[in-house]
């Protein structure tokens, strides 16, 4: 638990704009909790998507409601704010390994499991056939040989800059549903979208020996001028294409969606946010008129086939860490798992030679290349990567920046805090006050950030609100400051200035701030 939560009394006064924003957030939570069923387009709410918290007794519910209220006092840090990952927060020395620490509240035995999972996460897969015992099965087409190759130091990927490779960035391939049958399949959540008929759902630039990769991603940039309150600046607008195609032309209707790998920290805590707390903030029809119309991503669980809430990935297309991991094994590395038993990875039906290549199944270990024991270890590791403790929470500039963050309306989507489920299966994630700064909903971010690619409930302009915890340590851990889904933003200020659509009003407020207040807001983000 988060510790001794004590009473708070009346909130101190703040300026009118901030008060309006915060009152709007509180009112929206109360109203939208009653609208959740309608937010699911009139269909029955799946059992896993309860619209009320059934894990809390009335006393606990009152405590939770009180502790997650948005603050209105920016004169000091909030109680427990430093421990943004709850009791599992890592307080170890900040260095390049800051995202690779285990949850501080797991047991000694679980620490051993975490380390074994780390070994599986770093495991380099090789092509088949091989003399190894359970390390073969790579590809035949792939983007990386290990999970760690994409999730560098368990942190944020980057576009290829200054001659660096594109291992931590790739292109998703898909086209829009065209026929009534295809549209029905998406509406019924049987599929997320439709891949390229030849190149599949992911563009893979690497291949096993004797085989040919699919081609190369090409990025060029144009200048995008921006006016601030006191100066002009320019963002860089990326343009994506492919070259050296190895298997003929790509379907002209196929869209290219660039994705950098997101940080791995806090995933197990996100998994244990009660669905009701996420759905309560959904407002797909913007009934409160605030310009924010987040909607949930409803997907099917691979194993059960049941409808559930998507909360992982840039478009919230995965409902669980295990499913996200299985999809990555298949799409990124070409490794089959019990959840996605495709020995050929992302090789399409048109790539017959690819599908006929040898695979790495060891019958004595199971029917897939990464059987359940491997999946269990990788999942546990991913669930228990700790969130680092906040820094400089009492710094006057940080507190000023936090106030600017709230006043600009950023907290409408980047919701500061949740309390995880009381009935979480692992004690380490149970009933924790966490500060992810996300609502885990889909939002229209405007044409400039759009990729034209539908992914389940997410349109081409919609993206899941990414959590902000740990964002200020990107430079320390990964040696760069590239942000957003494709790394186009070269710093945090540029990331804000790219916001459009539902984020346009907040972006405009940020641009209109005096330089010192913009700097303070960025300083606040850097403290997360």
pLDDT score for 176: 87
Q: SS3 breakdown of the chain: % helix, strand, coil, rounded to 5?
A: 30, 15, 55
* DSSP helix/strand/coil, 263: coil
pLDDT at 448: 96
Would you say 418 and 68 are in contact if contact means Cβ atoms under 8 Å apart?
Answer: yes
- Structural domain boundaries of the chain? 16-35+51-104+267-296+385-526, 135-264+308-365
DSSP 233: E
What is the band of 181 on the pLDDT scale with cuts at 50, 70, 90? very high
Looking at residue 4, its pLDDT comes to 31
Is the pLDDT assigned to residue 510 strictly greater than 90? Answer: yes
Weakest mean pLDDT among 59-63, 127-131, 162-166, 371-375: 162-166
Residue 319 has pLDDT above 90, yes or no: yes
The 3-state DSSP class for residue 251 equals: coil
Check pLDDT > 50 for residue 32: no
Q: What does the pLDDT look like over 160-171, one tens digit per residue?
A: 986 667 789 999
CA–CA dist 144, 166 (Å, integer): 10
Residue with tokens 């073969």: 136
Residue 348 has pLDDT above 60, yes or no: yes
Lookup: tokens for 94: 């900040």
Confidence of residue 37 (pLDDT cuts 50, 70, 90): very low
Outline where 144-201 has alpha helix (H).
Answer: 147-150, 180-187
Q: Which two tokens stand for residue 281?
A: 């903030």
Q: What average pLDDT is seen over the chain? A: 91
* Rg of the chain over all Cα atoms, to the nearest angstrom: 23
Measured in whole angstroms, the distance separating CA 498 from the mean position of its chain's CA atoms is 18
Measured between alpha carbons, how far is 67 from 494 in angstroms, rounded to an integer?
32
Residues 400-420 have pLDDT tens digits of: 999 999 999 999 999 999 999
Average the pLDDT over each of 287-296, 426-435, 504-513 and give the range with the smallest value.
287-296
DSSP string, 458-522: B-TTEEEPPP-TTGGGHHHHHS---BSTTS-BSSHHHHHHT--GGGHHHHHHHHHS-HHHHHHHH
Of 26-40, 75-89, 99-113, 422-436, where does mean pLDDT reach its minimum?
26-40
237 membership: H or E segment, kind and range: strand 232-243
Instruction: Give Cα 399 to chain centroid, integer Å.
Output: 26
pLDDT at 33 over 60: no
If you average pLDDT over residues 354-364, what whole number do you get? 93
pLDDT category of residue 7 using cuts at 50, 70 and 90 = very low
Name the nearest CA neighbour of 437 among 416, 456, 423. 416
- pLDDT, tens digit, 9 for 90 and up, residues 60-115: 999 999 999 999 999 999 999 999 999 999 999 999 999 999 999 999 999 999 99
Identify the helix (H) or strand (E) that includes residue 225: strand 216-227
162: left (phi over 0), alpha (psi -120 to 50) or beta: left
Q: Residues 215-219: what's their mean pLDDT?
A: 95
- What's the whole-number mean pLDDT along residues 319-325? 97
Torsion angles phi and psi, residue 409, rounded to 5: 90, 10
Q: Which of 6-10, 89-93, 220-224, 425-429 has the lowest mean pLDDT?
A: 6-10
Q: Which residue has better confidence, 132 or 206? A: 206
CA atoms within 13 A on the CB side of 372: 2
What is the pLDDT at residue 26?
43
pLDDT of residue 22: 45
User: Residue 381: in which H helix or E strand, if any?
Assistant: helix 372-383
Give, as one character, the DSSP assignment of residue 149. H
Record the pTM: 0.91
The H or E element that residue 227 is part of is strand 216-227
Q: What percent of the chain has pLDDT over 70?
A: 90
Residue 191 has pLDDT above 70, yes or no: yes
Is residue 202 scored above 60 in pLDDT? yes
What pLDDT does residue 167 have? 85
pLDDT of residue 516: 98
CA dist 194 and 391 (Å) reads 44
Residue 314 pLDDT exceeds 60: yes
Alpha helices of 54-93 — where are they, by DSSP H? 58-67
CA distance 160 to 449: 19
Given a contact cutoff of 8 angstroms between Cβ atoms, the answer to whether 264 and 100 are in contact is: no
Confidence of residue 49 (pLDDT cuts 50, 70, 90): confident
Write the DSSP symbol of residue 84. T
Q: What is the pLDDT of residue 28?
A: 40
Distances in Å between the alpha carbon of 299 and those of 34, 320, 382?
Answer: 22, 11, 21
Q: Which whole number is the average pLDDT over 39-57?
A: 68
- % the chain with pLDDT above 90: 85
Structure tokens at 409: 């309306």
């Amino acid at each position: 638990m988060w510790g001794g939560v004590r009473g708070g009394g009346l909130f101190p006064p703040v300026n009118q704009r901030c008060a309006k924003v915060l009152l709007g957030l509180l009112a929206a939570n109360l109203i939208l909790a009653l609208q959740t069923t309608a937010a699911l387009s009139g269909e029955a709410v799946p059992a896993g998507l309860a619209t009320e918290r059934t894990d809390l007794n009335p006393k606990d519910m009152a405590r939770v409601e009180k502790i997650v209220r948005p603050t209105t006092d920016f004169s000091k840090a909030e109680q427990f704010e430093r421990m943004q990952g709850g009791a599992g927060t890592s307080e170890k020395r900040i260095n390049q390994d800051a995202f690779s620490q285990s949850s501080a509240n797991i047991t000694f035995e679980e620490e051993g499991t975490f380390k074994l999972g780390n070994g599986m996460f770093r495991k380099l897969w090789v092509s088949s056939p091989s003399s190894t015992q359970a390390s073969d099965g790579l590809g035949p087409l792939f983007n990386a040989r290990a999970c760690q190759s994409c999730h560098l130091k368990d942190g944020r990927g980057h576009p290829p800059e200054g001659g660096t490779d594109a291992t931590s960035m790739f292109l998703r391939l898909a086209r829009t549903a065209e026929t009534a049958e295809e549209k029905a399949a998406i509406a019924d959540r049987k599929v997320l979208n439709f891949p390229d008929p030849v190149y599949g759902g992911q563009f893979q630039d690497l291949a096993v020996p004797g085989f040919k990769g699919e081609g190369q991603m090409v990025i060029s940039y144009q200048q995008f001028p921006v006016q601030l309150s006191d100066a002009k600046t320019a963002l860089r607008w990326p343009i994506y294409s492919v070259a050296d195609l190895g298997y003929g032309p790509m379907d002209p209707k196929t869209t290219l969606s660039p994705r950098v790998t997101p940080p791995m920290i806090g995933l197990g805590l996100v998994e244990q946010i009660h669905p009701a707390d996420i759905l309560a903030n959904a407002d797909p029809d913007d009934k409160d008129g605030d310009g924010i119309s987040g909607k949930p991503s409803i997907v099917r669980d691979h194993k059960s086939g049941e409808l559930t809430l998507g909360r992982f990935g840039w478009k919230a297309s995965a409902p669980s860490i295990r499913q996200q991991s299985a999809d990555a094994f298949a799409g990124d590395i070409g490794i089959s798992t019990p959840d996605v038993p495709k020995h050929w990875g992302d090789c399409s039906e048109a790539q017959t030679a690819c599908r006929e290549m040898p695979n790495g199944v060891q019958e004595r270990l199971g029917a897939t290349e990464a059987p359940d024991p491997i999946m269990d270890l990788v999942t546990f590791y991913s669930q228990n990567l700790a969130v680092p403790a906040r820094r400089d929470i009492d710094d006057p500039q940080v507190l000023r920046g936090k106030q600017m963050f709230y006043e600009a309306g950023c907290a409408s989507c980047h919701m500061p805090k949740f309390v995880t489920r009381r009935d979480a299966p692992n004690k380490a994630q149970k009933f924790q006050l966490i500060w992810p700064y996300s609502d885990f909903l889909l939002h229209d971010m405007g044409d400039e950030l759009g990729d034209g690619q539908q992914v389940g409930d997410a349109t081409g302009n919609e993206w899941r609100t990414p959590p902000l915890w740990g964002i200020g340590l990107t430079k320390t851990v990964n040696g760069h400051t590239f942000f957003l889904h494709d790394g186009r933003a070269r710093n945090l200020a540029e990331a804000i200035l790219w916001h459009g659509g539902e984020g346009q009003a907040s972006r405009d407020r940020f641009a209109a701030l005096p330089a010192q207040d913009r700097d303070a807001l960025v300083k606040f983000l850097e403290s997360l």
